[in-house]
Amino acid sequence: MISVYCVSLGCAKNRIDTEMILASFPDTARLVDSPERADLILINTCAFIADAKKESIQTILELSRYKGKVAVVGCLAERYYDEIKQEMPEIDCLIPIKDYGELQDYLSGLTGEKGFRKLDPLKRVLTTGEHSAYLRISDGCDNFCSFCAIPYIRGRFKSRPYAEIIEEARILRDKGVKEISLISQDTTVYGRDFPSRRPDIVDLLKELDGMGFYSIRLLYLYPSEISDGLIDLIASSKSIAHYFDIPVQCASDHLLHLMNRHGDAAQMRELFAKIRRKCPDAVLRTTLIAGFPGENEEDQKQTIEFLKSIRFDHMGCFTYSREEGTAGYSLPDQIPEKLKRARRDELMKLQSRICYEINKSHVGQKLEGMVVGKRGKGVYQIRTYLNAPDDIDGSFTFSSPVDHKEGDIVKVRVTGALVYDLMGEEVLA
């Protein structure tokens, strides 16, 4: 019997890979909650930006101090295989993404254990609780944004077979999963690489919408690819969350061109206005990059005015990370780190005020959602359509005299608001 300690870094797509790897282990394997007790330490790494690479390397160095064999997989292993192989002897087994088809052979050779299986996308060990799961619908990306290394790490865009997605959704539903979040690098173009370009994301959503899930959420929508049909379907559905995760990166046409982004700021303004018209209760989330090469004060001003105008419910902002192999790496007028951070902080300060104002507007509202955890005696955490998983949009806690368990559906009155978090009390019949 082999004991396994696992760390999964980076995005939800990486998490799904981790869940598939865990499901490929021998039936006798057991997960442990401490690296001290592990025969095998599995680290799924991220290499999207500099901070992610740093975290991955620090995690490897920290966990290599223990007696367990160290296996490293994921984007860092894929992107820097030769360098890591040469410079990090602490790693016992390095497995790039392109070799996942032979992962069972790697791990069997490393541990001496038999019974490792090939990765199966329909078999996962959920790490998100028994009632919530991510559902991957494609991999790779064809956008080639000049700041992003994903196409070079994960390859070109490839839609997952429609029937396989539906089958996995059925498996998840039958296991008791009530909430699914659809993920990919670009969710909006699902099906574009099929011979007839169908089924597309709207077809897929319609099928999932009829399967009995409590909540279906879309993440990673590319602004120029969002169709009226997609907006209309989301707006009319009771189970598809009225939640639009649309990274815009910036609101300067000058920078959007340098970033190799499709569309312009005016088109994005019209998109968000259309979403508000068609779906008045829509939650809008976006992501920005501060300090892209060539960015000037006028670019920053345009993005600030955009934020004031659109008033996103949630926003993440990252400083530009200069990534080898991308078009942005060789651009002139690279921005000093201090100025990048200052511009990021300016954007986040504005957004925090907007978030607080929006959160205060929710006070007094009654919202339905799913219990996702207990936070103390009589205090629980709920997830409504306002918030995506993993607390990326803050948390929502509520008090109740009822003894709840995860997965319960409850109605809560919002009684208090912080910058990013909400508090409430259960509405009892």
**Residues with Cβ < 8 Å from 269, sequence gap 6 or more?**
306, 309, 310
Answer yes or no: are the C-beta atoms of 57 and 91 closer than 8 Å.
no
d(CA 42, CA 60): 9
Strand segments, DSSP code E, in 273-365 are 283-290, 314-319
Shortest CA distance to 45 belongs to which of 2, 115, 92, 96? 96
Report how far residue 261's alpha carbon sits from residue 281's, in angstroms, rounded to the nearest whole number.
28
Q: Taking the CB of residue 12, how many other CB atoms lie within 10 A of it?
A: 20
- Residues 167, 272: Cα–Cα separation, whole Å: 33
Say how many C-beta atoms besides its own lie within 10 A of residue 229's C-beta. 14
Annotated binding site: 11, 46, 75, 141, 145, 148
Q: Specify whether the CB–CB gap between 326 and 48 falls below 8 A.
A: no
* Binding site residue list for [4Fe-4S] cluster: 11, 46, 75, 141, 145, 148
**Is residue 58 within 8 Å of residue 7, measured between CB atoms?**
no
How many H helices and E strands in the chain? 13, 18
User: In this structure, are residues 313 and 419 in contact, taking their beta carbons and an 8 Å threshold?
Assistant: no
Q: How many residues belong to the chain? A: 429
